[in-house]
């Protein structure tokens, strides 16, 4: 709704923006982000700055919510929703935990569940150390494997703790046709050539 009926005065600005657009403001460089979508968030106006004077944007979220976010978090992809995305994921994990019993307070997380979580983190969380080799290179987890149960059904039990999920085609995604459990030495034969 908000997306379709854009404010007329924002239209030319949006067209011109290849973010971040940097303009001078009070003698300092300033990233102009109004109208540019970052995940579910679209900054609509400047909000109150932080105590340390960092610029914050009032953002509209596609869920109808709102958030006040500093420029850097938007640009670096650290903030992609008002918090609704995290809540949805947490709710989904909660449902799954109750269903499959692979992550419980009493017994902890199963080896398969640990692999499943790590796979998602490598591909979707820029804060993960190895993100640049996975999500940062455009490698994704297929839609089907958002469900832990579907993942488990496709790959089966993890043979040992030295096995991890290996992608047969190194530039391919995490999906049933491209994945298997493999030990480090099995995976070694399958590395993409490293730049010297």
Name the site residues for Zn ion (rule: CB under 5 A).
Answer: 61, 63, 65, 81-82, 84
Q: What is the dihedral of CA 73, 75, 76, 80, to 10 degrees?
A: 60
Partnered with residue 31 across adjacent β-strands are: 22
CB of 108 to Zn ion, least distance (A): 31
Nearer to Zn ion, 84 or 170 (CB): 84
Q: How far apart (Å, rounded) are the C-alpha atoms in residues 64 and 84?
A: 10
CB of 80 to Zn ion, least distance (A): 9
CB of 64 to Zn ion, least distance (A): 7
Nearer to Zn ion, 80 or 115 (CB): 80
Q: How far apart (Å, rounded) are the C-alpha atoms in residues 96 and 80?
A: 23
- Short-list 42, 46, 14, CA closest to 30: 46
Q: How many CB atoms lie within 10 A of CB 59?
A: 26
Nearer to Zn ion, 42 or 81 (CB): 81
CB of 85 to Zn ion, least distance (A): 7
Nearer to Zn ion, 61 or 103 (CB): 61
């Amino acid at each position: 709704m908000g997306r379709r009926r854009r404010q007329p005065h924002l239209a030319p600005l949006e067209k011109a923006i290849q973010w971040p657009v940097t303009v001078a403001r009070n003698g300092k460089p300033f990233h102009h982000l109004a109208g540019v979508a970052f995940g579910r968030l679209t900054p609509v106006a400047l909000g109150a700055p932080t105590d340390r004077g960092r610029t914050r944007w009032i953002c509209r979220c596609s869920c109808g919510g709102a958030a006040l976010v500093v420029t850097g978090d938007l640009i670096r992809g650290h903030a992609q929703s008002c918090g609704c995305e995290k809540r949805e994921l947490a709710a989904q994990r909660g449902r799954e935990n109750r269903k499959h019993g692979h992550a419980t307070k009493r017994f902890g997380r199963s080896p398969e569940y640990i692999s499943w979580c790590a796979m998602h983190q490598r591909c979707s969380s820029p804060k993960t150390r190895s993100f640049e080799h996975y999500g940062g290179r455009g490698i994704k987890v297929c839609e089907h494997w958002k469900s832990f149960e579907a993942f488990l059904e496709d790959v089966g039990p993890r043979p040992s703790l030295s096995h991890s999920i290996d992608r047969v085609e190194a530039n391919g995604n995490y999906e049933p046709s491209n994945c298997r459990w493999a030990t480090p030495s099995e995976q070694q034969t399958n590395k993409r050539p490293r730049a010297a």
